[in-house]
Chains A and B, each alone.
Chain A
Amino acid sequence: MNRWLTLVMVLSVALAACAGVLGLKGKNEQHPFEHRAHVLKGVNCKECHAGVNAAGELDDVHFPTPTDCVRCHGKPHDTRDCRTCHTEPYVRESAELARKHLRFEHSKHMTQVKGDCVRCHLGVQESNPTALRPAMATCFGCHAHRDQWQVRDCDGCHVDLGAERVKPTSHLVHEGDFVREHGVRAASARELCSSCHAEKFCASCHAVGTAPLLPARREFDEPKLAGLHRAGFRARHSEEARAQPGVCTSCHSESSCKDCHSRLNVAAGGKARNPHPPDWMGPARGGQHGVQARIDPASCAGCHGGAGEQLCVSCHRVGGPGGNPHGGNFHSTKNKTRDVPCKMCHSGGL
C-alpha cells in the first residue's frame, strides 16, 4: 500500500513540476480574454466590437482598443495596454489571417442571425481561444455554403487557401498516423485534397524517380515532417519491405530497386555479391526461393524482372526441371500461348 502511495506522490510531484512544460500552467502573463465572464455579465458583443454589424469584406478586424475597455473598467489595475496580457498573440494573428483570406461580410450575416453572434461563434461562451473562429461545419449550417462545398467551390469563401495556413479541423482531420491513412481517405476525395495541396505535393513522393525530391531529403532540417522514408530508412528498407509485401509496389515500379542495387552491387549480374541466404536454392524442393517468391514476388522482380526473368524460365518452363511455379489458386484470363508473360514458358502450344 505504501509503495502505491509513494508512486502516486512521486507522479503527482513530477506532474506538478512539469505542469509548465506540458502546457497545463501558463508560463507567461498572457491569457485568453475572458469572453465568458463578459457574456455572463450581459455585455453585448457590439459594445466592445463596435461597428462589426456593419463591417464589409475589406474592413478591419474589429478588435476592441484600450479605450473600449476603460469605458466600463474605469480604474485599470495596470497602466500598460490591456492587450499586453488579456489576449494571446496567435488568436489575433489567426483572426487577421482569416480576415485576409476569407470572403466574408459580417454585415450580411448579422441580419441572417438577427444580431446573435453566438449562433456562429459558439466557442465564445467557453473562453476557449482556439474555438473563437467558427468551424466550417458551422458555415455548412447554411444551404448556400453546403452547395458550394458539394461542387468544391472553395474560392467562394477562401482567398488563396494555401497561404491561409489553416489546417482543417472540422471536415478532414490529419491526425493519427496520417501517412498510412491518407491513401484510403484520398481514394474518394482526391479533388478535396487538391483544394489545399498542389500537384507537387503528391508528386514529391509518388512520382517516378522522385528520390532527390523526397521531403525527408529536401527538408532535412524539418524532423517533424512525417514520411515513410525518414531517418535511417535506407538501412531498414529491406525489413520494412518484407514486413508488408507489395506495399512498395503501390508507388515504385519494380525496376526502381534495380537502379540503386546495381550501383551498390547487390543486384543480379556483373560483380554483384549474392544477397540470398545459403538455403535459397537448396536441393529439397528448391530451397527457400519458391516460398519467398510467392510471399513477396515484387522483391524478386526488383532484381530479376525484365530480361532477368529468363533465369526463372530456364528451370520453370513447361517440361523444365523446376516444375510448375503456379500456386494452387492461380488462374488467369490471359492467352497462355500468345500473351506475355505466359508464352515465355508455354511456347509451342504447351
Chain B
Amino acid sequence: MCKTAATQRHTRAMKLLVLCGATTAARTVCAEPLRLRADAVAEAQAPAGLVILEGQDKVRPWLYAEGLVWTGTRSDPKTDPAADVMVLAVRLRDPRGFGEIKGGRFVVSTGAVRPVQIDGAHALGRAPWQTTTLEAFAGAPVVPRFGTTGYDWLGGGRVAQTLASRATLGASYVQRRSHKDIADDEIGADLAAVPVPWLDLAGRSAYDLTSPGIADALASAAVRFAPMRVELFAAHRSPSRLLPATSLFSVLGDFPSQSIGSTVRWEAAPRLDLLASGAGQRVGGEFGGNGFLRALLRTDERGEGSLGLEGRRQDVSTAKWTGLRGLASLPLGHGFRYATEIEIAVPDAPRGRGIAWPWGLVALSWRSASGWEAAGAAEASSTPEHRYQMNALFRVSRTLEIR
C-alpha cells in the first residue's frame, strides 16, 4: 500500500518535473520576456521610504501572471501600513479567445460595476458565435494592511452582446455584503458603439435596488475630424446611493449632482495641442460650472520635450477657485531630463486657509539604456494646513527583461 502510494507520488513528481521542464524549454522561444521592476523611493516627509517590486510574465499564450508589492517605513505604526500587496493575479486564457479565468488580488470593474479591489476570481466566457459574452466574479473586498472583515464579500456578473461589430450592449449585476448586511445591490447597463469610424458613443448607468433609483449614470459622445475631436458628456450621481447601504449617511435621500459639458481637442499646429473643456453643473439645487484650457507645446518632432500651460476655474456650490499650472519637461542629453511643474490655486473664500495655495516641483532624472533610472526632486507648497512645506523626493529604479 505504502509502495503504491510512493509510486504514485513518484509518478506525480515526474509529471510535475516534465511539465516544469517543458515550461522552461518553452521560455527559450517565448516572445514576451519576464519583466521585473524594483523601485526604491525616499521622501523627506512620511512615508519616508518605500520599496516597490513588480513583475509580469506571459509564460505561455494562455498563462499570464503579475504581481506588485510594496513595503515601507512607518511614521505612525497605528495608521501607516508597513507593507501591502497591490496586485497578485494569475490569468488563464483560451488561446482562441473563448474564455478566461483570473484569480488572486486585482481590481474588478465591468459594465456598471465601479472599480473594486478584491481577493477573488473572475471568469469570462464567450459563446461560439463570438458576439455574446458572459462574465462572473466573486471575492472579498480588499482591506488595507492585511486586515480582514467578517462576512464581507462581493459577487456579480455581466452579460454582453455585440451588435454588427459596431456596438456592445451589456447588463450587469453586483451585490456586496458587509457583516452579512447588504452594502450594495445594483443592476446596470452599459453601451459602447462606433456606428461610423469618426463617432464614438459610450454610456453606463447603475440602478440601486436597496434604495431604488439611479446611483450613477455617465454618457459620452465624441466626434473626430482631423485635426479636432469634440466630445459631449453628461453625468448624474446620487451620492447617498454611492455610499454602502450599511452607512447611516445613505438614508438622507436623493440629492443628485449633475453635469453636462463638452471637451474639444485641437491640434492647432504640428507641435501644439489645445484642449478646452467646460461643463455646467447642478449640485444640491445650485447651478454652477467648471472649465479649463490647456496648451501643450512639443519642443521636438517626437514629443520628448514639452511645455504646458493650463488655466482652470471651478464655480459651483461652496467650491469656487481659480488655478493656473505650468509644466516643462526637457531632455538634457546623455539620458538626463529636467522637469518642473508649478501650480497656484486661489480659493474665492479663503476662510482662514490662506489666500492662495502655491505648489512647485523641480526634478532631475537620468535613465540608462541598461534599465537603471534615478530621479530627485525638490517640492515646495503652501496648503490650508501648513503655511509652507518643503519636501525632497528620490527614486532609484531598475527594470529587467529576462528572456
Contacts and interface: CB of A to CB of B under 8 A. Distances in A.
A90 B202 contact: no
Interface stretch (B8-16, B20-28, B271-279): B271-279
Most chain B CB atoms below 10 A, which of A162, A204, A242, A295: A295
Given A224-B329, A330-B211, A206 B249 contact: no
A85 interface: no
B4 interface: no
B327 A224 contact: yes
A291 B109 CA distance: 32
Most chain B CB atoms below 10 A, which of A185, A186, A212, A312: A212
Interface in B306-351: 306, 308, 314, 316-321, 323, 325, 327-329, 337, 339-341, 343-345, 347, 351
Contacts of A224: 296, 306, 308, 327, 329
Interface in B180-238: 181-182, 190-192, 197, 200, 202-204, 209-212, 216, 218-220, 222, 224, 229, 231, 233, 237-238
Contacts of A298: 239, 242-243, 249
Interface in B260-301: 263, 265, 268-272, 275, 277, 281, 283-284, 288, 290, 296-299, 301
B121 interface: no
Given A236-B323, A293-B252, A295-B284, A187 B144 contact: no
B107 A202 contact: yes
Nearest to B200: A173
A50 interface: no
Contacts of A325: 251-252
Contacts of B288: 243
A176 B229 contact: yes
A24 interface: yes
Interface residues of A, number: 109
Given A203-B106, A212-B50, A239 B220 contact: no
Given A21-B297, A209-B145, A313-B248, A247 B237 contact: yes
A222 interface: yes
Contact of A207 (B95, B142, B202, B318): B142
A232 B197 CA distance: 38
Contacts of A221: 337, 339, 363-365, 375, 377, 395
B205 to A, nearest CB: 9
Given A246-B257, A305-B247, A184 B117 contact: no
A64 interface: no
B301 A150 contact: no
Interface of A: 21-24, 88, 90, 137, 146-148, 150-153, 155, 159-160, 162-163, 170, 173, 175-177, 180-181, 183-191, 198-200, 202-204, 206-210, 212-213, 218, 220-224, 230-232, 234-236, 238-247, 249-251, 254, 259, 262-264, 266, 277, 291, 293-298, 300-301, 304-305, 309, 312-313, 325-334, 339-342, 344
22 contacts: A22-B297, A151-B98, A151-B126, A159-B31, A159-B32, A173-B222, A176-B265, A184-B233, A188-B160, A189-B192, A204-B86, A212-B72, A223-B329, A224-B296, A230-B341, A235-B357, A239-B347, A243-B319, A250-B115, A294-B284, A328-B253, A333-B210
